[in-house]
Amino acid sequence: MIATALDRIPAPPCSRLLGWHPLDARPKDGWIRIGFDGKQDFCNPAGFVQGGILSAMLDDTMGPAVFVMTEGRLYTTTITMTVNFLAPAKPGPIVGEATVTQLGKTIAFVAGKLTAEDGTLLATATNSIRLVETARALR
């Protein structure tokens, strides 16, 4: 993993709960890859990782894509997120990838996906995100 703006801030508790850990990034391209732990504790009665947890993983991938692209200058707050669940997620490693599709002055648009360890596409998402100066958001 190359050095990014994420190295300068601690992971928040919600990210740590998900087992969030950066795997790779191309900040100039607005692209990031994040690893997550699909814990047994996250499973629904059918034994699959619950959809809300998968949504949190997607959200915790797409915001950091903007953060690294802006070299930590801009923090994100989700306005809307549309998630498409494509396959059940078994417990185990899950990888999130996100790409900033448009970065404006106050709003960004980001696309993301989650895959299982075997490469199965689990979910896709798009986000519209309000941009906030990091210095104002992380006081």
Task: Spell out the domain ranges in the chain.
Answer: 5-137
Distances (CA, A) of 46 to 35, 38, 39, 122: 23, 14, 14, 16
CATH fold of 5-137, please? Thiol Ester Dehydrase; Chain A (3.10.129)
Full strand arrangement of the beta sheet holding 121-133: 21-26, 31-38, 92-103, 107-116, 121-133, 74-85
pLDDT tens, position by position, 77-127: 999 999 999 999 999 999 999 999 999 999 999 999 999 999 999 999 999
Return the closest-CA partner of residue 116 out of 135, 137, 97: 97
Dihedral sign from CA coordinates of 119, 125, 131, 132: negative
State how far the Cα of 72 lies from the Cα of 67, in Å rounded to an integer: 5
pLDDT tens, position by position, 24-67: 999 999 999 999 999 999 999 999 999 999 999 999 999 999 99
According to DSSP, the residues that pair with 91 across neighbouring strands are: none
